[in-house]
Amino acid sequence: MKRRSKPARGMKRAALKLTSLLLFIAVVATACGGGGAGSSAEGGSGSGGTLSIAMSAANIPFPSTPPNQGYEGYRFVGNNIYDGLTRLDLDQDKTLPSPQPALAESWTMAPDLTTYTFKLRKDVKFHDGTDFNADAVIFQLDRLKDPEFEYYSQTDAANAASAVRYIDTWKKTDDYTVVMTTTQKYTWLQWDMLSVYYPSPAIVKQYGNQDYNQHATGTGPFTMTKYVDGEIMELTRNDSYWRGAAKLAKIVLYPQPEAASRLSMLQSGEVNWAEVPSPDAVAQLKTDGYQVFLGKYPHGIMPRFNMFREPFKDNLKLRQALNYALDREGTAALINEVGYPAKQWVYEGHPDYAPDNPGYSYDLAKAKQLLSEAGYGPGELKLNFGYTTGGSGNMFPDVMMQKLQADFKAIGVEVTLKPMEWTVLLSIGLDGLNSDKWDDIDVLWASPAAGMMPTLYNSAYMSKRPGGQPNATGLNDAKIDEYLTKASQQAEPADQHKYLQRMMDQTVDQAYFLFWMHDLNLRVMAPEITGYVHAQSWWVDFTTISVGEN
Amino acid sequence: MLRLIIRRIGLAIPTLIGVSIIVFILMTVVPGSPEAGLVPEDATPEERQAIRDQLGLDDPLPLRYVDWAIAALQGDLGHSQQRRREVADLLTQAWGNTFILALVSAAFGIALGLLLGYLAGTRRGKIADRFISVVSLGGLSIPSFFLAIILLGIFAGGLKWFPSGGASFDDPITALRSLVLPVLSGSLITMAITARVTRAGIVDVFGADFVETLRAKGLTEFEVRRHVLRNALSPVLTTSGVQIGALLGGSVLVETIFRWPGMGLLLYNAISARDLVVVQGATLVIALTFVIINLLVDLLQAAIDPRVRGAIA
Amino acid sequence: MSQATVPVLLPTGFGSDVSNADREEARRRRDEWNAVDQSVRSQSFWRDTGKRFLQNKTGVAAAATVLLLALAAIFAPWLTPYDPLLGEPTDRLQNIGSPGHILGTDEQGRDMWARVLYGGRLSLAAGFIPTVVAAVVGTIIGVTSGMLRGVVGTVLMRFMDMLYAFPAILLAIAVGSSLGPGLTNTIIAVTIVFIPPVARVAEQATRRVVVQEFIEAAHLSGASRFRIARSQILPNVLNDIIVYASGLVGVAMIIAASLSFLGLGSAPPAPEWGYMLNSLRGSLYTTPLVTIVPGFFIFLTSVAFNMASDALREAMDSRL
């Protein structure tokens, strides 16, 4: 028996040797294979520190113009590398941010409301040192609007289509003046211009559209110094930024679609900023000294009824019944109060909020009564509810949908939950619920940036989408069309809001949506972060933030 | 031997073609449109069609497949509009990351498995054997994502010993630290299987007649063990090959949880985004890896164990 | 990784780990069986297997655990007063051992014990059904191609090889996302994943049996192919299949749970264990023990099945 131990030890030694050898090889391989810049945790030159962010996107947004990954791409990548002609005043949290001069020093609207003249800022340089001027503006508009242009980018054009839809012509009148005409009377071009970013024409010409992303160059407060698709992006302070250099030395971005994993990243200290971590951890995080930010902003969950057919077409009482059946407070409790009950599409305090319309409370008796008036006894109505299981900016679909299912069951309406991937939900938005593929869906999840920009109402509200297609869920109300169109043709913002309020009023009266939850934009940061402003927006001003002793 | 290799490669080609056709068909029946992530929600039919044309989505299916296959044969795996990258680039990057994780996981799992299996096999019925059996059975039965979550909770969130994810290769120490948790979660099953197969192999061979013959011939116990190991190693080799093949395919769950940008995560994300060219390319690479590993295993086995040579030729 | 398990039990050079001594032993035993009348033979074989199984204490314990889990799932309504789908928001995330909720409550305020019990129905179904269906279909394919060998056999097995050439979980994800979420689709996906390896086991076993003399004898006696398959080959292949398939149940559960974990499996509010684990992840730091509960049950069931499978293998004395 004793003799056995010797070869066993030999075996063990061999195994250990093998392991250490392989580990060594792996280490060498990793060291060689990684490449890229030095450790991201270092602060870089000067003060301000490094902000490391766990985003909720599944990938690093493209640094293209525009970026992808929705508003998260604009928030972290777009607004940091680039500027638009206009920008939002994100350095305050008192009002809804609105367009302010940026690359355009000022703009004027001709009295006919179809011509915009933008005066450009003169002292602005791209990160590569070339000048920003009217040619750069024309270059980018050509890239997005003129299929004949040498540097026309089909993908960027498709992605930016909404923002440049109303531009009819564009020309420079001198080196620092650009004139744009619109396809119709239109007074929201300054909103559209927020998300048209200007890349350095020299860089686009040098690398072409195909390879541009690896060399993204703009005029923004940060320059892109490292970009590994799928893994990491590093942004470094642009010391000669025209608005004055940002305080932060660096921003490092990590994609992490899982809320629980973002929480782990924050807790293990890999990041000092986490987007929407699991809400149940909030109390713990506060105890641990983290800064937890919550605040109203234009984002809500407002499911859309299929208005192409029964049961919701021409059945106001049924739509109202379901709105009364929603236990919004209960839903808020389930997500640990990181959202709050919605009365209208936009939140109370938003300039487009219709005053004097109480909306729908949680009222089971009323809901049951309306349901029977709508022609359905308990157990007679079965609904298919399509919703997404993921995608950033969707709050907490699984938790909320299970609550909704229980709420509707309480008045005798069966809901079948149809979870779908985010891509599928987007596809439905394009195809419309009248398409054969999706016509079994009765109610569709929607997570609009409700009221962030007036330009965003169109696709949910207008009876026709651009190109003459019907509204994706079949909403068709001449009054709404009129209010929304008129709003976009008022020179004065006050008048615009007046029409939009009427639109909201009509929408609530007609119960075109399930007015369900507003998001509170949960964001958690390490204690050493200062200067952050929790604006009423999806976007953030990173120039005011610093990390470390200040 | 050469003829064997050629024959096996010949057999692999229809397999690879078949795999890519199956995946191609699967991807075309997946609900949702590939262009959905590329155009805004209020895109006009024309804007949408332009992108569909660019992606070639409306060409007849067989034509799309043949176009892809011909290009792939010429080494062009296409360009991903969703990722705006050459598919070949994406695959190289992801495969490299998976390769590192798979190699370390396999090395760790197989080495530990061999050791445990050997200890258990040579101490059949003893406490060590029972203990190791329980451990390997547990390893076989624990879902990797469950283990990953527990490890994350304890070692990343709680103790902060290791990062919660990401493949950071800036320096060897960071690289090692970022490898620990994914390797532990991903290699447990390899360890368990290797241990079980090793143990079974050793028990079998010890029970075989030829061991007695060897002993009778007067070989020392050490030499007997050498023979035993040599014979017991063959099945271990086979399972190890399969394990390495599977690990090289990328562990979707481990890679998702630990943000490890490898093949599994790439393929999973591509399926979610309906990024057909990436799905096709990744599948091809994974299947190819699998086929090559199997071939290598068979060849190695033939080299070690003459009995096998006849069987696979 | 869960996906690895399928390939592992089924190496390419399957059967190569069988020593000649084993082959001799197996042949001797088969000859013995063949010597006796067929019905008597199979009866006594199963009786012996059963006897041997009952002597194995771990095996019995494991089988008892499986049985207990199954019974608990079936009789869930008698074991808990709670509705597994309906929660009380004010009672959410209670810890283990809190009054009225032995296993605590989940993020919706639903009783975890109730959810685990009812969820057992889904998770066990997700483990059992694919295994049984794949075992049947795979055996038919494997035996057919093993007997025919020619073009049909080759084509069938080539097709199986294709499905087999990429990791199980990735195949399951691809199939799962084409079918859409839902337990039924998960079961279909896992079944498709399992058929190729079972078919290979069956094919290899068939080939081994086909060359035996007694098949020759049956041929000579003029029996039809189907009859030979049914009366001679199947009984001999079956124990290999049973042993192999019994090891797949745990794997099936893990793959199903993985799909749920990725959002491609059971749709909420179904209390499938994998889905429960995923939805509780956010409370890992608040109520860690509650979060672990569903994972623990997946683990427990899987261990029990694997142990029972090991015991069965020993009892059948299969060399798989």
Residue among A214, A168, A183, A165 nearest A63 (CA): A214
pLDDT 10s digit of each residue in chain A, 550 long? Answer: 334 444 444 444 444 444 444 444 444 444 433 333 333 333 344 578 999 999 998 889 999 999 988 889 999 999 999 999 999 999 999 999 999 999 999 999 999 999 999 999 999 999 999 999 999 999 999 999 999 999 999 889 988 999 999 999 999 999 999 999 999 999 999 999 999 999 999 999 999 998 899 999 999 999 999 998 888 999 999 999 999 999 999 999 999 888 888 888 898 888 999 999 888 888 889 999 999 999 999 999 999 999 999 899 999 999 999 999 999 999 999 898 999 999 999 999 999 999 989 999 999 999 999 999 999 999 999 999 999 987 778 898 988 999 999 999 999 999 999 888 888 899 999 999 999 989 899 999 999 998 999 999 998 999 998 888 999 999 999 999 999 999 999 999 999 999 999 999 999 999 999 999 999 999 999 999 999 999 999 999 999 999 985 4
Residue type, A93: D
- Which of A275-284, C248-257, C306-315 is predicted least confidently? C306-315
Q: Which of B23, B124, B145 to mutate to test the interface with C (most CBs of C within 10 A)?
A: B145
CATH class of segment(s) A83-213: alpha beta
A547: phi then psi, degrees, rounded to nearest 5: -120, 135
State whether C16 and B311 contact (CB < 8 Å).
yes
Task: Please check whether residue C137 touches B, CB under 8 A.
Answer: no
Task: Return d(Cα C186, Cα A345) in angstroms, integer.
Answer: 37
Give A418's strand partners: A386
What one-character-per-residue DSSP string does C163-210 give? HHTS-HHHHHHHHHHHH-SSHHHHHHHHHHHHHHHHHHHHHHHHHHHH
Q: pLDDT tens across B79-132, in order?
A: 888 888 889 989 999 999 999 999 999 999 999 999 999 888 888 878 888 888
Instruction: For residues A476 and A308, give the distance between their C-alpha atoms in angstroms, rounded to a whole number.
Output: 9
Cβ of B225 within 8 Å of Cβ of A465? The answer is no
Q: Tell whether domain C56-316 is in CATH 1.10.3720.10.
A: yes
pLDDT given at position C10: 42
- Nearest by CB: A280 against C85, C89, C283: C283
Chain A to chain B, count of Cβ pairs less than 8 Å apart?
218
Cis peptide before A66 (omega within 30 of 0): yes
**Dihedral sign of CA atoms B272, B273, B274, B278 in order:** negative
pTM metric for this prediction: 0.84
Residues 6+ apart with CB under 8 A from A496: A187, A188, A454, A487, A488, A490
CB contact under 8 A, A401 and C282: no
ipTM: 0.83
Which residues in chain B have their CB less than 8 angstroms from residue A35's CB? 169
Q: How far apart are CA B85 and CA B261, in angstroms?
A: 15
CB A361 within 8 Å of CB A325: no
What is the C-alpha separation between B207 and B214, in angstroms, rounded?
12
Rounded CA gap, B140 and B144, in Å? 10
User: Mean of the per-residue pLDDT values for chain C?
Assistant: 79
Pick C187 or B222 by higher pLDDT: C187
Q: How far apart are CA A354 and CA A357, in angstroms?
A: 6
- CA distance to partner chain C, nearest, from residue A232 (Å): 23
Query: For residue B187, what are its two tokens?
Result: 């290699």
Smallest Cα distance from B113 to chain A, Å: 10
Q: What pLDDT sits at residue A489?
A: 95
Which residues, in sequence order, are bridge partners of residue A228?
Answer: A232
Nearest to A222 by CA among A76, A23, A121: A76
Nearest CA in chain A to B180: A23
* Cα–Cα nearest to C243, from C300, C136, C317: C317
Q: Which residue has the higher pLDDT, A362 or C4?
A: A362
CB–CB of A305/A471 below 8 Å? no
Query: In this structure, what token pair is assigned to residue A411?
Result: 């008045």
Taking the domains of chain C in order of start, what are their residue ranges?
16-44, 56-316
- CATH number for the region A300-519 comes to 3.10.105.10
Say which range, A206-215, B2-11, B146-155, C8-17, has the weakest mean pLDDT: C8-17
pLDDT, residue B305, reads: 63
A88 bridge partner residues: A99
pLDDT in the model for residue A54: 94
| Cβ contact, residue pair A158, B47, below 8 Å | yes
pLDDT at C165 over 90: no
A422 neighbors A388 (Cβ within 8 angstroms)? yes
Minimal CA–CA distance to A12: which of B285, B112, B137, C207?
Answer: B112
Contacts of C288 (CB under 8 A, 6+ apart): B153
pLDDT of residue C317: 64
User: C98 has which bridge partners?
Assistant: C101
Which helix (H) or strand (E) segment holds residue A342: the answer is none
pLDDT value, residue C157: 81
Going along chain B from its start, the domains and CATH numbers come out as 2-78 (no CATH), 93-272 (1.10.3720.10)
Give B53→chain C minimum CA distance, Å. 23
Closest CA–CA distance from residue A114 to any residue of chain B (Å): 22
Each residue's pLDDT tens digit, C212-221: 656 666 666 6
User: Mapping DSSP to helix (H, G, I), strand (E, B) and coil, where does residue C152 land?
Assistant: helix
Q: Which residue out of B41, B199, B223 would a mutagenesis test of the A interface target, given it has the greatest number of A Cβ atoms within 10 Å?
A: B41
In the CATH scheme, what architecture does the domain A1-80+220-293+522-550 have? 3-Layer(aba) Sandwich (3.40)
Task: Give the pLDDT of residue B29.
Answer: 82
Q: Which of residues 361-420 of A touch C (CB under 8 A)?
A: 389-390, 398-399, 401-403, 405-406, 417-420
CA distance C275 to C264: 10
- The whole-number pLDDT of residue A41 equals 39
Nearest chain A residue to B48 by CA: give it.
A158
**What was the pLDDT predicted at A169?**
95
What pLDDT is attached to residue C44? 65
C-alpha B112: how far from chain center: 18
pLDDT given for residue C213 in this prediction: 59
A217-244 CB burial, b ≥16 within 10 A, e <16: bbbbbbbbbbbbbbbbbbbbbbeebbee
For chain A, the domains span 1-80+220-293+522-550, 83-213, 300-519
- The pLDDT score that the predictor gives to residue C275 is 86
What pLDDT score does C216 carry? 67
Q: Under 8 Å CB-to-CB from B50, ≥6 apart: which residues?
A: A154, A158
The answer on pLDDT for C232 being more than 90 is: no
Q: How many CB atoms lie within 10 A of CB A381?
A: 21
CB proximity under 8 Å: C 188-207 to B: none
Q: Structure tokens of C294?
A: 């569903």
Q: pLDDT value at position A43? A: 39
